[in-house]
Amino acid sequence: MDATIVEVSSQILDIPTIRPHKMSVATMHNQCLVLVRIKTSDGIEGIGEATTIGGLNYGGESPESMKTNIDRYFAPLLIGQPATKLSAIRQRIDKAIKDNRFAKCAIETALYDAYAKRLGVPLNALFGGAIHDRISIAWTLASGDTQKDIDEAQQMLATRRHQIFKLKVGMRAPKDDLKHIRAIRQALSDDASIRIDVNQGWSETEATQQLRALADAGVELVEQPIHEKNLAGLQRLTALGIVPIMADESLKGPQDGFALASAHCANVFAIKIEQAGGLQHARDLIGIAQAADIALYGGTMLEGSIATIAAAHLFSTLNRLEWGTEMFGPLLLKDEILATPLDYSDYSLKIPQGPGLGITLDEDKIAFYTRK
């Protein structure tokens, strides 16, 4: 008989960051992870993670709302269901629960983890298997101070941890952002790739005025310069062809991907498993990008190790990830919550080989950081 789901639980972990992380939407001093555990009748536990940025600063789900919704609305839909019928469960949840993409992602991740553990295969096997055993990892410079960002980048280059840097801009005046970007570009060697993420901080006029100067300053990619809903504006900025434009906040699943791809509103899609509503929906979004000749980037919501590794498994199955990934979330946290830390080296992250996600929680640390 099929294993059934017998328990769904969630807990909020509050973990400090190594330094303040300053973005146009929020400054983070700590990260709140919602850890989901799903137990099945054959004694397997799958884990998933739902994590937002800055409470409600970035989107409609907060850690507290996700925990409440998982406990009150998701769990009853899951208890007693066959644990291996992932498509049927996805359909059941999507029918009963609107939106809540991050919570859906955590639940789906836990189900995939449990399923792959049961089969004794890594999670990526459920998406056709890994093509790459390592994926490239960018780092975000967001201390809020130009010299600190330069020192941080130089240390990352010296230790071969990262050579792709995403600068958070959009909170200062555009001319001050330019000074900041130029100073960092000039201080780093040519091996370093510099990209910027505006997090919707500019008007379309500001973005149009900035692009030429950004190109001249050596910026290789501009992420979500304008409001997520201004698709016509994104289309116009992309059509200028001055610097490649990447869509991030505009992409909340395959339908958005189709709208953006149809009108060619971006050169690159940032794929985030939580924003897409789970691994399968993220895979659907990837397919749309691939069909439309839009390049791919593996994005993060600054998640901890669980969601980071879930996304990494999916990304490892893609033949091409033209712009790499930024799956560095665990490195932004002051403490390790895994029994064996992830292998970040040589500008990349190694995909775990063990069954499921291939990671083991350090339960003492989990207990320590769980909100009481």
Ligand X SMILES: O=C(O)C[C@H]1C=CC(=O)O1
The footprint of ligand X (CB under 6 A) covers: 23, 53, 140, 142, 197, 199, 248, 299-300, 302, 326
Give the residue among 189, 125, 205, 196 at the shortest CA–CA distance from 165: 196
Q: Which residue has the tokens 């960018």?
A: 138
Q: Answer with the entry of ligand X, Mn ion, none that 142 interacts with (C-beta below 5 to 8 A by kind).
A: ligand X
- Is 249 an annotated catalytic residue? no
Sheet holding 5-22, edge to edge: 5-22, 27-40, 45-51
Of the residues 168, 223, 272, 274, only one is catalytic, namely 168
Q: Answer with the entry of Mn ion, ligand X, none that 326 interacts with (C-beta below 5 to 8 A by kind).
A: ligand X
- Residues 89, 81 contacting (CB under 8 angstroms): yes
CB of 45 to ligand X, least distance (A): 29
Q: Which stretch binds Mn ion (CB under 5 A): 92-100, 138-146, 196-204, 362-370?
A: 196-204
Give the residue among 117, 91, 177 at the shortest CA–CA distance from 141: 177
Amino acid 32 reads: C
Q: According to the binding rule CB under 5 A, does residue 197 interact with Mn ion?
A: yes
Beta bridge partners of 141: 167
Q: Answer with the entry of ligand X, Mn ion, none that 108 interacts with (C-beta below 5 to 8 A by kind).
A: none
22 versus 134: smaller Cβ distance to ligand X: 22
CB of 196 to ligand X, least distance (A): 11
- Is 108 an annotated catalytic residue? no
Q: According to the binding rule CB under 5 A, does residue 248 interact with Mn ion?
A: yes
Beta strands 295-298 and 268-271, pairing class:
parallel
Burial 301-312, CB ≥16 within 10 A → b, else e: bbbbbbbbbbbb
- Give the residue nearest to ligand X (CB): 140
Helical axes 101-119 vs 305-316, angle rounded to 10°: 70
CB of 231 to ligand X, least distance (A): 18
Q: Which stretch binds Mn ion (CB under 5 A): 4-12, 50-58, 155-163, 192-200?
A: 192-200
CB of 326 to Mn ion, least distance (A): 9
The C-alpha atoms of residue 361 and residue 372 are separated, in whole angstroms, by 19
Q: Which 76-95 residues touch Mn ion, going by CB under 5 A?
A: none
Six-digit token string for 152: 């941080």
Residues of this chain that interact with Mn ion (CB under 5 A) are 197, 223, 248
Would you name the residues annotated as active-site residues?
Answer: 168, 326
